[in-house]
Amino acid sequence: MTRLEIEQIPVLRDNYVYLLHDPTSGATAVVDPAVAEPVEERLALKGWTLTHILNTHHHDDHTGGNLALKQRYNARVVGARGDSQRIPGIDLQVADGDSFLLGSAASMVMAVPGHTLGHIAYWFPESLALFCGDTLFAMGCGRLFEGSPEQMWASLLKLRGLPDDTMVFCAHEYTQSNARFARMVERDNEDLLARIDDIDARRSRNLPTVPSPLALERTTNPFLRADVESVKKGVGLPGGDPVRVFAEIRRRKDAF
């Protein structure tokens, strides 16, 4: 039973980079290093040596630090097989259903296409930690740059099926604006209204709203609720097919 120590590093405008440390073996990974320097600083502070770089997808604000960190620590870069041409410095190619071992901590790789076609998530069951990049956000989801609404909805359903107490470590602090949008979709959702108060309080003290428990996303994230009647009605599609409803929520958010 290996519980990872997890460090959250805010970088750039609103990105979160994570350090995962297995205390048993000393293995240490960084997830989606947008930039190298703040990662190096945090590693030095913790006294950890980087062994792995885990990428969820190819975008610059998730891979920009790959090469510098790889060179400095001789770390192994892990990314999606489907994105092997686009992940800088990739060493180990993984695909849906693969398990990846960080020291003694096992993770499962989940293909979650939508934001990009090669997007993957890393699920560490013993730590109840999900690293989902730009697929699922707190009360939001990533824009569909490459995939279809069908693909993204299927990806979100996979993530929605993980255990209640899973913590969702997404890659951006977009929660407050996501919350304003969510309230427009579901005005009478009590869980949502309570969560918005909590988020506003945290942001006013400059505290992160990430990670969040999956159970809370299920009850408050409109993008995980395209099959719930109140959300269907909220976007003017009562009784609508979930994929169609999901596409409409995404379309409205893009224009929000």
Under the rule (CB under 5 A), what is the footprint of Fe ion?
61, 134
Give the residue with the Cβ less far from Zn ion, 51 or 151: 151
The structure tokens 């296409």 sit at 113
Report in angstroms how near the CB of residue 158 gets to Zn ion at its nearest.
Answer: 18
Active site residue 119: no
Give the residue with the Cβ less far from Fe ion, 22 or 134: 134
- The sign of the dihedral angle between the CA atoms of 134, 5, 196, 154 is positive
Report in angstroms how near the CB of residue 62 gets to Fe ion at its nearest.
Answer: 6
One-letter identity of residue 127 = S
Q: State the number of CA atoms in the 13 A half-sphere of 45 facing the CB.
A: 9
Stretch that binds Zn ion, among 9-17, 54-62, 85-93, 106-114 (CB under 5 A): 54-62
Stretch that binds Zn ion, among 75-83, 130-138, 191-199, 218-226 (CB under 5 A): 130-138
Cα–Cα distance measured from residue 255 to residue 141, given in angstroms and rounded to the nearest whole number:
14
Give the residue with the Cβ less far from Zn ion, 57 or 225: 57
Cα–Cα distance measured from residue 101 to residue 95, given in angstroms and rounded to the nearest whole number:
14
Active-site annotation holder among 22, 32, 83, 134: 134
The structure tokens 């890393």 sit at 122
The kind and range of the H/E element at 79 are: strand 76-80
Stretch that binds Zn ion, among 46-54, 59-67, 146-154, 234-242 (CB under 5 A): 59-67
Active site residue 115: yes
Active site residue 57: yes
Q: Which two tokens stand for residue 36?
A: 């190298």
> Which residue in 7, 40, 134, 173 binds Zn ion (CB under 5 A)?
134
Could you give the maximum distance between any two Cα atoms of the chain, in Å?
A: 55
Report in angstroms how near the CB of residue 59 gets to Zn ion at its nearest.
Answer: 4
Report in angstroms how near the CB of residue 101 gets to Zn ion at its nearest.
Answer: 26
Active site residue 134: yes
Q: Look at residues 204, 181, 164, 160 and name the one whose alpha carbon lies nearest to residue 256.
A: 181
One-letter identity of residue 225 = R
Number of residues that bind Zn ion (CB under 5 A): 2
Cα–Cα distance measured from residue 176 to residue 161, given in angstroms and rounded to the nearest whole number:
25
Q: Which residues contribute to the site for Zn ion (CB under 5 A)?
A: 59, 134
Q: Which residues are catalytic?
A: 57, 59, 61-62, 115, 134, 172
